[in-house]
């Protein structure tokens, strides 16, 4: 199963991107020990949806849109969902952080799951890091690795 972390964000200065890059790369590198992983940035929702339609596979990608109105899960519940998708033969999970003004109704309808990281609004770069850490945490929970329990 391949995991994709995508984001729609306005252009940011190099210094802002670089401030988050090493943290994000740390988690994405860790995820890649468990699953093939990629990360994509898009200028618009349309660009993301077009990219999504071009993804090929035996099964359509399972799309998780981060949305403030989405389901809130704890880490174990999140891991359980990923594990079930893996066990059911899902070939690709796409996690997507949306545009600043939120997802369109059409994008929400395309999603398999609307997920909220919480009721507070986070800047895109921080949300990417939090999401990457939670995906990594889910990997360790599913593998029985002690990262989650702190041992």
The upper half-sphere exposure of residue 100, i.e. CA atoms within 13 Å in the direction of its Cβ, equals 6
For the stretch 1-10, pLDDT in tens is 999 999 998 6
Mean pLDDT of all residues belonging to the chain = 91
Which phi and psi angles does 67 have, rounded to 5°?
A: -150, 135
Cβ distance 108 to 114 under 8 Å?
yes
Work out the pLDDT band at 48, boundaries 50, 70, 90.
very high
**What's residue 114's pLDDT?**
98
Cβ distance 126 to 20 under 8 Å?
yes
CA angle 139–5–65, rounded 5-degree value: 100
**What's residue 72's pLDDT?**
97
**What's residue 9's pLDDT?**
81
Q: The pTM is what?
A: 0.91
For the stretch 84-126, pLDDT in tens is 999 999 999 999 999 989 999 999 999 999 999 999 989 889 9
Domains of the chain as residue ranges with CATH: 2-143 (3.40.1280.10)
Stretch among 36-40, 57-61, 102-106 having the lowest mean pLDDT: 57-61
């Amino acid at each position: 199963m391949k995991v994709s972390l995508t984001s729609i964000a306005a252009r940011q200065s190099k210094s802002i991107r670089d401030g988050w890059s090493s943290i994000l790369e740390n988690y994405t590198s860790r995820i890649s020990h468990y699953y093939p992983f990629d990360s994509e940035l898009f200028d618009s929702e349309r660009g993301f949806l077009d990219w999504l339609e071009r993804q090929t596979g035996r099964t359509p990608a399972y799309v998780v849109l981060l949305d403030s109105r989405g389901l809130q899960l704890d880490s174990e519940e999140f891991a359980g969902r990923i594990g079930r998708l893996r066990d059911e033969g899902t070939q690709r999970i796409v996690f997507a952080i949306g545009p600043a003004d939120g997802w369109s109704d059409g994008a929400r309808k395309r999603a398999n799951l609307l997920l909220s990281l919480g009721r507070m609004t986070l800047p895109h770069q921080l949300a990417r890091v939090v999401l990457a850490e939670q995906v990594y945490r889910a990997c360790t929970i599913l593998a029985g690795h002690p990262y989650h329990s702190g041992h």
